[in-house]
Amino acid sequence: MANESVPETVARLRAHFATGRTKPVPWRLEQLRGLDRMLREAGDELAGALRLDLGKAAPESFLAEIDFVAAEVRSLRKHLRSWLRPKRVYTPPHLQPARAYVLREPLGVVTVIGPFNYPVQLLLAPLAGALACGNAVVVKPSEAAGATAALLERLIGKYLDPEAVAVVQGGPSATSALLAERVDHIFFTGSARVGRIVAKAAAEHLTPVTLELGGKSPAIVEPGADLATAARRIAWGKFMNAGQTCIAPDYVLAVGGVGPELERHLAEAIREMYGHAPAESPDLGRIIDEHAFDRLARFLGEGRLVCGGGHNREDRYIAPTVLADVSPEDAVMGEEVFGPILPILAVETLDEAIAHVNAGEKPLALYAFTDSETTRRKLLTRTASGAVGFNVPMAHIDVPGLPFGGVGHSGLGAYHGKASIETFSHAKSVLDKPLAPDTMRVIYPPFTALKEQVMRRLR
């Protein structure tokens, strides 16, 4: 509501949730239908806002944001009733006759804090899951993507129940005010630094959190792989959205001398996708702001420049760049790149690549380009990551049945599809036993030898 403070917003949502109006499945399905209509009817508007904020090409906006969320909404609508159906579980003999089952119930008021890099997908996909579970929701779009944030506020008010869904706008002070409120779940997507702040604030109220963070997701390339195809797929995943993707390949581990040929194929792939003058390509996005640009620009002098390197601060443009002969001690290897700069680190063996990955924090994703089943088994059993992609980066996020989330430093919890139901609802355990006959008399005191014998056998 206009001119409403954050505490007033949360209190209003909590009061509305208490009426029970968000709990019936028909209400939940109506909200999902509203989201679906929003994406269909306002898709072009959303693509235009994304172009203003991030320089995204419309086809990329539909692929990775608008149509992506629409597919998630369709999946929730299709499976919601079956996913919410009470699940019967085994009841031990000594408690019979009885019925034991697990019931999914809404949490209450959920806070969703979205990032700037995919401001439609990463705000609306968790919103869809929270609404599917019957919650009231307050969403906080990123102020860095201002055009998209303003449009989303207008569209959410138009297509969704305004008594159950609220939008809070603003910068860090608005986020801090929101985190100070006691809610029933906080869903945050962003950096590990801010994730710690969110977790600390949530701990004050013992509020559960989902943290979708990031990290340095490696792409391991082995000898014997189709290097031309591997290079195209790595370039696609790395340079989409100007590299501002949490699951983009952050760097390459080139195993056993594949580096020089891979470098050549990467340069060719970049030219195929963005032309000889990437600054003029309508398909290459821009860095979100000058602060992010300045952070990335300091990496450009490291290693050996294979291709790219061009940049323009005023236009927030950095060319798709590949750096070879990079050292683990270089600054570009010391933090998540989150931009269109791809460092290549040469290693002699797969074991050396695994050791490098395991020496750092657990990544959000790990990618490997290989034809070897032995390599697959080694990576699956000897590394830890939020997800693994063999011969393709990022695409696992588009598989509805796969939970999306990190592990350790790269995140806490998961969502998408059925995983969203598990995240945004409580699994309530229920045991229903009739009062007659009172079969439990055998375990009441006073205990006799016969009772003890019966009780021991019941187990």
Tokens representing 453 are 């014998």
Residue 26: phi, psi to the nearest 5?
A: -55, -40
Tokens representing 234 are 């790595």
Alpha-carbon distance of 446 to 459, in angstroms, equals: 19
Sheet holding 185-189, edge to edge: 165-167, 136-140, 109-113, 185-189, 209-212, 411-412
Peptide bond into 97 cis (omega under 30): yes
Contact 414, 397 (CB under 8 A): no
Q: Report pTM.
A: 0.96
Q: State residue 455's pLDDT score.
A: 85
Tell me which H or E stretch contains 28: helix 25-41
Parallel, antiparallel, or unpaired for β 99-106 and 425-432?
A: antiparallel
Tell me which H or E stretch contains 432: strand 425-432
Taking only the tens place, the pLDDT of each residue in 282-310 is 999 999 999 999 999 999 999 999 999 99
Q: State residue 304's pLDDT score.
A: 98
SS3 164: coil
Contact 303, 330 (CB under 8 A): yes
- The candidate with the shortest Cα–Cα distance to 69, out of 39, 113, 42, is 39
Tell me how many degrees the CA angle 80-86-89 measures, rounded to the nearest 5.
135
- Strand ranges inside 30-179, DSSP E: 87-89, 99-106, 109-113, 136-140, 165-167
Tokens representing 250 are 């952050």
Taking only the tens place, the pLDDT of each residue in 213-226 is 999 999 999 999 99
- The candidate with the shortest Cα–Cα distance to 411, out of 388, 386, 381, 387, is 386
Taking only the tens place, the pLDDT of each residue in 227-244 is 999 999 999 999 999 999
Contact 355, 326 (CB under 8 A): no
* pLDDT over threshold 90, residue 459: no
Token pair 């063996």: residue? 349
Distance of CA 307 to the CA centre of its chain: 31
Split at pLDDT 50, 70, 90, the class of 246 is: very high
The type of residue at 55 is G
pLDDT mean over 169-178: 97
Question: Which residues on neighbouring strands pair with residue 178, listed in sequence order?
Answer: none
- The candidate with the shortest Cα–Cα distance to 41, out of 158, 202, 216, is 158
pLDDT mean over 16-26: 98
Contact 224, 190 (CB under 8 A): no
pLDDT mean over 326-348: 98
Among 6-10, 14-18, 59-63, 435-439, the minimum mean pLDDT is found in 435-439
Parallel, antiparallel, or unpaired for β 251-255 and 341-347?
A: parallel
Tokens representing 335 are 């933090």
Q: State residue 2's pLDDT score.
A: 64
Task: Give the domains, in start order, of the chain with CATH numbers.
Answer: 6-214+410-428 (3.40.605.10), 218-398 (3.40.309.10)
* pLDDT over threshold 80, residue 95: yes
Tokens representing 202 are 């949530």
Tokens representing 385 are 């990551």
Average pLDDT, the chain: 97
Which residues, other chains included, contact 447 with Cβ-Cβ below 8 Å and sequence gap of 6+?
none
- Active-site residue set: 212, 246
Taking only the tens place, the pLDDT of each residue in 117-165 is 999 999 999 999 999 999 999 999 999 999 999 999 999 999 999 999 9
* pLDDT over threshold 90, residue 357: yes
Alpha-carbon distance of 310 to 9, in angstroms, equals: 46
Alpha-carbon distance of 171 to 180, in angstroms, equals: 15
Tokens representing 141 are 């779009």
Question: Which residues on neighbouring strands pair with residue 188, listed in sequence order?
Answer: 113, 211
Tell me which H or E stretch contains 368: strand 366-369
Which residues, other chains included, contact 35 with Cβ-Cβ below 8 Å and sequence gap of 6+?
69, 73, 124, 127, 128, 131, 159, 160
Alpha-carbon distance of 348 to 67, in angstroms, equals: 42
pLDDT mean over 52-75: 98
Q: State residue 322's pLDDT score.
A: 99
pLDDT mean over 360-386: 98
| CA 140 to each of CA 23, 148, 174, 176: distance values in angstroms, whole numbers, following the listed order | 23, 12, 9, 11
> How many percent of the chain have pLDDT more than 70?
100
> How many percent of the chain have pLDDT more than 90?
95
Q: State residue 93's pLDDT score.
A: 85
